[in-house]
Chain A
Amino acid sequence: MAQVTRPRDCEGNRGQMILLMGVVLAVMFVALALLVNAAIYTDNVATRGGDPAGEALEYQNGVVDSVSGLLAEENNQAGGTTATDIEPAIEKIGDTHRQYHLRRAAMAETTTDRVYEGLLIEQTDSGGLANWNLNDAESVRSFEITFEPGEMPQLNLTTDEPFEIDVGESKRYVYINEDNPGDLVVAESVGNPICTADASADEVRFDVTGGRFGGSSCDTGWPGADVDGLSFSNGENAVGTYELTVKGTNIDSDDPPPDTTTIIYDVDLTLQITTPELRYERSVTVVPEGVDA
């Protein structure tokens, strides 16, 4: 009779294949579980995070808006504000913003590098324009002159000297040529007009820094950054009013402007913000809000 039973010493080898496959399948299931977990985690990460620039931009714009508003308010009051007056207020603004961002794990530091004083120069009573000279003018903004062409003389350009605005590097002339009495002109050099306006109008506004003359564009980019001193000459050949804000305070005492007020022209700040991800530092020049510089 055949032996149909396995010898006793072979019993331990049975089921090895099933066991091996079980282990292999278990490993595969674990790998699948890890992959599913990775997919879920990835989708979760995809919805996280925010704008890394948001905190820094919020801080930067907050400080600039606050200081800009402060300068505007100080200048709009009676004027006469000096750098010494404004620095503690800027420091207070910096402290307020630092406290706010500190609560959001961001270290913000505002440093005042320099406060530039300037002058608001204006002539509000209509009449012949005064001649004056500001030796240390570096920049100008909000520069507007309102001419009254009907009151202005018609000039013979070979003998008369037209009204002249000199910013050191270049000049502009505004006049009515007797050979062309219908036009009030702006010229880069006498006899070469670049912009014209109707001389029969009651008033012609020349927005020097805004680049408009008599309601039309006269945008030549002048004076731009090329200001090195500022003066009015031959003002007796122009009639009207004007207002401008100048960076500089050194008035030629022999030729002073008619009405001046000390103001804060602009402020240089260094802004620094540090978060766990971001370190950002920049210098910035803050001007009073609403200016056209």
Chain B
Amino acid sequence: MRSDDRAVSVAVGYVLSLGIATLLFSVLLIGGSGMIESQTRTVTHDELSVTGQQLAADLSGADRLVRANVSDGNESKTLRLRTDLPERTAAGSYTIEISHDDTEGTIELRSTSPDVVVRVHFWSQTGVGKSTVNGGAVEISYDGSGPLEVESI
């Protein structure tokens, strides 16, 4: 019996093209998505760092105002300082946790998906109340006594 292999090369060529294209696209997809995730993590880390530094600067500024002593200390003070932090990062929403002990404090900013945690240290001789707030505008307040309070507005 005589075999008929006419037009086989067309089919093989088609399958080869399909295979190569699939392989190429798979590599591109996997590599691309990995790169995007990596870049998202890096950018989120940058954003949280800058956000934390902004809040730390404002907390230190509020501390300076509270401690500014221009007379015999027999005075009252009230302070409201609004800080406009971004509501979202490249990774979406995030939370800010503030803790303070003695004169040193830590601002911990945390995003999920990807899970990025950034800690920023700050100094404040005035106490700062422990609090956890979501990203977005926050207000630092002081009512003449006690610690500085940070809350979302």
Interface residues of A (CB under 8 A from B): 1-2, 4, 17-18, 21, 24-25, 28, 31-32, 34-36, 38-39, 42-43, 45-46, 49, 51-54, 56-57, 60-61, 64, 276-287, 293
- A45 surroundings in chain B (CB, below 8 A): 50, 54
- B22 surroundings in chain A (CB, below 8 A): 17
Q: Do A64 and B32 have beta carbons less than 8 Å apart?
A: no
* Shortest Cβ gap from A211 to chain B (Å): 16
* Among B6, B22, B46, B71, residue most surrounded by chain A Cβ atoms (within 10 Å): B71
Which of B50, B70, B71, B84 has a CB less than 8 Å from the CB of A42? B50
Which of B25, B39, B65, B72 has a CB less than 8 Å from the CB of A285? B72
Alpha-carbon distance between A25 and B31 when the two chains are bound, in angstroms: 11
Alpha-carbon distance between A17 and B29 when the two chains are bound, in angstroms: 13
Q: Do B7 and A57 have beta carbons less than 8 Å apart?
A: no
Q: Do A61 and B70 have beta carbons less than 8 Å apart?
A: yes
Alpha-carbon distance between A157 and B121 when the two chains are bound, in angstroms: 63
Q: Do B81 and A52 have beta carbons less than 8 Å apart?
A: yes
The main secondary structure of chain B at its interface with chain A is helix
- Residues 10-32 of B contacting A (Cβ, < 8 Å): 10, 18, 21-22, 25, 28-29, 32
Known: A280-B65, A284-B71, A286-B70. 5 other contacts (CB 8 A): A17-B21, A25-B32, A28-B32, A51-B57, A279-B79
- A293 surroundings in chain B (CB, below 8 A): 72
Alpha-carbon distance between A278 and B77 when the two chains are bound, in angstroms: 13
> How many residues from B make CB contacts under 8 Å with A?
46
Alpha-carbon distance between A281 and B77 when the two chains are bound, in angstroms: 6
Residue of A nearest to B10 (CB): A4
Q: Do A46 and B50 have beta carbons less than 8 Å apart?
A: yes
Q: Do A53 and B64 have beta carbons less than 8 Å apart?
A: yes
Residue of B nearest to A56 (CB): B65
- 6 nearest A-B pairs in the assembled complex, by CB-CB distance: A53-B61, A282-B77, A285-B71, A279-B80, A52-B61, A21-B25
- A49 surroundings in chain B (CB, below 8 A): 54, 57
Q: Do A282 and B32 have beta carbons less than 8 Å apart?
A: no
Q: Do B6 and A32 have beta carbons less than 8 Å apart?
A: no
